[in-house]
Structure 1
Amino acid sequence: MKGLLLSVAIFATIALSHGAEKLHPLSDEFIDAINNKHTTWKARRNFDVNTPMSSIRQLLGVLPRKENAPKLPLKIHPEDDIEIPITFDAREGWPDCEDIIGTIRDQASCGSCWAFGAVEAMSDRICIHSDAKTKVLISAEDLNDCCTDCGDGCNGGWPDEAWLYWSQKGIVTGGLYGSKDGCKAYSITPCDHHVNGTLPACGEIQSTPVCTSVCDDGTNLVYAEDKTTGTAYSIMQSVKQIQIEIMTNGPVEADYDVYEDFPNYSSGVYQHTQGDYEGGHAIKIIGWGVEDGVDYWLAANSWNAEWGDRGYFKILRGENECGIEADIIGGLPNL
C-alpha cells in the first residue's frame, strides 16, 4: 500500500510540475492549447518557433502613456436617428477607395505600428473625403523618422502624438518600400515575420532612419509642398460612437494590449485566451460584423499580408477586449 501511495504521489508531482510548466508562446504545444479550448478563434503558426519573443515585443510599438500627455479633443456624435448596420466594411462602404483602404502595409523590423495605424487611417480619410479624387498614401517613413514628440521611432511611439503632428506640422505622402508613389517611401525592407513566407527573414529591430526634409530621388516632388494636414480628435469609449465615426468619416486608429497568444492568430474572433502580456500595439479598424453570433471589430495589421487572415484580424467587440475600445483616434483631412 505504501508503494502504491508513493507512486500516486510521484505521478501527482509530475502532473503538477507539467501543469505549471510554461509553454513557449510559439510552440506547437502552445498553439494546440489555444485550439483545444475551442474558443471563438483559431491559432496557427505565423512565426518560426525560433523567433525570439523579444523581436515580437519590439514590433509592439505603443509606449506606455506618459505623464502630462496632451489630450486630444473628444468628438461626440449625435446618436438620434442613426441606424447602425449589422455589418460594415469601409472597403465596401467606399468602393472607389478600396485600393487605398485595402492596402496592407509592412512595418518590417521596426516598432513603428503607432505610425502605421495613423497614416493608414489618414490615407483612407483623404480618399473618402475627397470623393476619391485624391488617392495618396501618407508616409509612415516621414512620421516615424521626423516626429520627435511622437516617441522614439522604431523603438515605439504614441498614436495621439502622431495625429497631433499631422495637425500641427503635416506629413508628406509616401508609399510602400521601393515605390515611387509619393514623396518618401518606407525605407526599411519588408521581411518575413512568418513561416514559409516569400520574403527574407526579419532580423533585429532597425535603428530609426534619419529624418530628411527632401523627397526621394526620382519623385519630382517638393517636400514642403507635399505636406498634408488634418485635424485630430479622440472618440469616446462607446461601441455606437466608434461605429458612427467609422461609417461617417472612415477607418480609425486603435491600440490595445497584446498577449502571447495573439501572434498566432489565424481566423475567427480573437479574444485573449492564453499567455502573458507582451506590449501595446496599434492597428487600423475598418469595420465590424458578427461571426457565429459573436460581435467583432475588423482590423488591419501592419505585419504584411502573410500574417493572420491575409493581414487582417477580427477582435471581440463590445467588451473592450484587451483595451481595443479605450483609445480610438481619428481626424479630418484639410483638402
Structure 2
Amino acid sequence: PRMHWVSLLLSALSVTWAKPRLPLLSLQMIDVVNESNTTWKAGQNFHNVDMSYVKSLCGTLLNGPRLPEVMRSVEGLGLPVSFDSREQWPNCPTIQQIRDQGGVAPAFGAVEAMSDRLCIVTKGKVSVEISAEDLVTCCNKCGFGCDGGWPASAWSYWTNNGIVTGGLYDSKVGCEPYTIAPCEHHVNGSRPPCTMGPTPKCTMQCIDGYPVRYKKDKHMGQKAYSVSSKPEQIMAELYQNGPVEAAFEVYEDFLLYKSGVYQRVSGEDLGGHAIKILGWGEENGTPYWLAANSWNADWGDKGFFKIKRGNDECGIESEIVAGTPLI
C-alpha cells in the first residue's frame, strides 16, 4: 500500500509539473487562449509593467458591505435582444468615455455610472464628469487609494457627502480633475511607464480658475442600492436607468483581452476589479454584458470589453451597484 501512495503522489506531482504556470502577460498565455477555441481573442495590451502595478489594477474588495437590494418589474418591459446605453442616450457623452485610472485602485466604475445617470435623468441638461479624484482622496471609508475599496461605499459616499466634478488628467475640466497621469502600457509610447504611485491628498478645493466653490460643486445621490444577480433584473435596471457598476474577479488572461466575449480560460486570480456595465447582447450565440474598463482606450476593444452573461462569469453578476441622482 505504501508503494501505491508513493506512485499516487508521484503521478499527482507529474500532473503539476506537466502544467507549469505561464508567465504573466506572456506570449505563451496568448497562444493558450487563442488555441483553445474559446469565444474571445487575446493579444498584448501591456508591455514593461511590474507585478505591483498589475495588482493595483485589481484593487476592488469583493464580498463587502451590501446596499439594500431593489427589485424591478420585468413584465411588460419588452427587453430587447441587445441594448447599448451609448445608442439609447446619445446626448450623454460620458457614456462613451474611457478613463485611465493610472496606478491607483479603481473608483471609476462608480463615478462613470454616476456621471451617466445624472445626464440620463436630466435628459442631457446636466452633463458633467463626476470626479474620481474627489472620491479616491476624500472617501476615507471607501478604502480606495492603494489598498482597494468596496464598490458599495462609493455610492454611500455619493448619497451622504456628494462628489464634485472633475475630468481626465490634465483636462482642466471641472472642480477636481484627475491628477494621476495616464501611464504607458505599450512599447515606444509617449506616456511614462506604469508604476504604483502614492494616492493624492484630499484637498477639498477646486482648481485655480474654476468659477464654483468646492462645497457648491457637489453632486449628490438620492438613493444607492444593490441590484439582484438575476440577469433580467440587471437588464431591467440598465434599460430603465442607465449604466451600473459591477465588480468581478480578474484572472491573468483577462489582461490580454482584445475582442470577443470574455470567459476565463487560464491564469491565476489577481483580485477584484470594478467596472461599468452599459449594455448587453449576443455574439455568435454567446450572451454577453457590454462593459467599459478604466485601463485606457488602448486596452482591449478600444477600452471596452464583453463578458459572458447569465452564468455569473468571474462573479460579474454578484456585485451590481447603482443609484438615483438627486436633482
1:79 is aligned, of 74, 77, 80, to: 74
Superimposed CA distance per residue, residues 181-232 of structure 1 (whole angstroms, 9 cap, x where no aligned partner): 21000000111123454422212x1111110111011212200000000120
Secondary structure of 2:325 counterpart: coil
Segments of structure 2 that go 5 or more residues without pairing to the other structure are 1-10
Contact 2:183 2:194 in 1 (8 A): yes
Give yes or no for the alignment of 1:121 onto 2:113.
yes
CA distance in 1, matches of 2:312, 2:16: 34
Match of 1:225 in 2: 216
Give yes or no for the alignment of 1:303 onto 2:295.
yes
Give yes or no for the alignment of 1:54 onto 2:52.
yes
Contact 1:45 1:195 in 2 (8 A): no
1:208 is aligned, of 165, 182, 199, to: 199
Count of residues in Structure 1 that have an aligned counterpart in Structure 2 = 314
> CA RMSD of the aligned region, Å?
1.6
CA distance in 2, matches of 1:206, 1:286: 30
Give yes or no for the alignment of 1:95 onto 2:95.
no
Superimposed CA distance per residue, residues 51-73 of structure 1 (whole angstroms, 9 cap, x where no aligned partner): 3233211111112445xx3x312
TM-score (norm 1): 0.90
CA distance in 2, matches of 1:164, 1:141: 16
Contact 1:150 1:162 in 2 (8 A): yes
1:18 CA displacement: 6.5
CA distance in 2, matches of 1:63, 1:16: 33
1:250 CA displacement: 0.4
Give yes or no for the alignment of 1:181 onto 2:181.
no
CA distance in 1, matches of 2:247, 2:311: 15
Match of 2:103 in 1: 109
Q: 1:19 to 1:90 in 2, by over 3 A?
A: same
CA distance in 1, matches of 2:314, 2:205: 39
Q: 1:318 to 1:198 in 2, by over 3 A?
A: farther
Contact 1:150 1:157 in 2 (8 A): yes
Match of 2:321 in 1: 329
CA distance in 2, matches of 1:188, 1:255: 22
Pairs within 5 Å for 1:136-285: 136-203=128-195, 205-230=196-221, 231-285=223-277
**More displaced, 192-201 or 310-319?**
192-201
1:332 CA displacement: 0.8
**More displaced, 281-290 or 17-26?**
17-26
Match of 1:34 in 2: 33
Q: 1:247 to 1:77 in 2, by over 3 A?
A: same
Secondary structure of 2:208 counterpart: coil
CA distance in 2, matches of 1:60, 1:225: 33
Contact 1:141 1:184 in 2 (8 A): yes
CA distance in 2, matches of 1:224, 1:163: 18
Give yes or no for the alignment of 1:22 onto 2:21.
yes
Contact 1:46 1:195 in 2 (8 A): no
Match of 2:6 in 1: none
Amino acid at match of 2:26: S
Q: 1:92 to 1:154 in 2, by over 3 A?
A: same
Contact 1:232 1:330 in 2 (8 A): yes
CA distance in 2, matches of 1:314, 1:147: 30
TM-score (norm 2): 0.93
Amino acid at match of 1:86: V
